[in-house]
Amino acid sequence: ASALTGTLLAEGARTVVATAVILATGYALGFRFEGNAFGLAVYLILPALIVMVFATIVVSLALRDEGRTILAWVGTGSMGLAFAAMIPVDKIPALLRPIAQYQPVAPAIDAMRALSHGESGAWLPLLITLAWIVVIGGLCGPLAIRNYRQAAETGKVGD
């Protein structure tokens, strides 16, 4: 469990640093974070939590025999979710709007946008994001631990 925990924490730390670099680049280009210090901390940590929970999906799938094929499809879907979250909701057909609004990435983007503007409306998307993190982590975390342990015991880790 320590190797898996270390991997997830390293991904989280890398994401916090990358988010800070992107934020600094934005500042150089004229972006101004209008929220408070607590909002800034949440703004920096939220992407790390999302990356860590998505990493549990990757680990739970990648260590399976057919995992690389499944992982390619999951990666494609994840990229689709990220880009779909950037489309204004009113431009999406009405039937697909609930999916677009409440998929795992969109509420996180909404929360980060509200935090950066110093708006009080960040709490609902933040709570939805945290709910997604708990659900995905609760489902994929145990699978990742089991698959990592099984791969370590059979010598397949690092293949």
Q: What is the DSSP letter of 76?
A: H
pLDDT tens across 101-113, in order?
888 888 998 899 9
**pLDDT in the model for residue 58:** 84
pLDDT in tens, 134-154: 999 999 999 888 888 887 788
Amino acid at 89: V
Q: Which of 11-25, 60-74, 80-94 has the lowest mean pLDDT?
A: 60-74
| Global model pTM greater than 0.75 | yes
Q: What is the DSSP secondary-structure string of 56-95?
A: HHHHHHHTSTTHHHHHHHHHHHHHHHHHHTTS-GGGS-GG
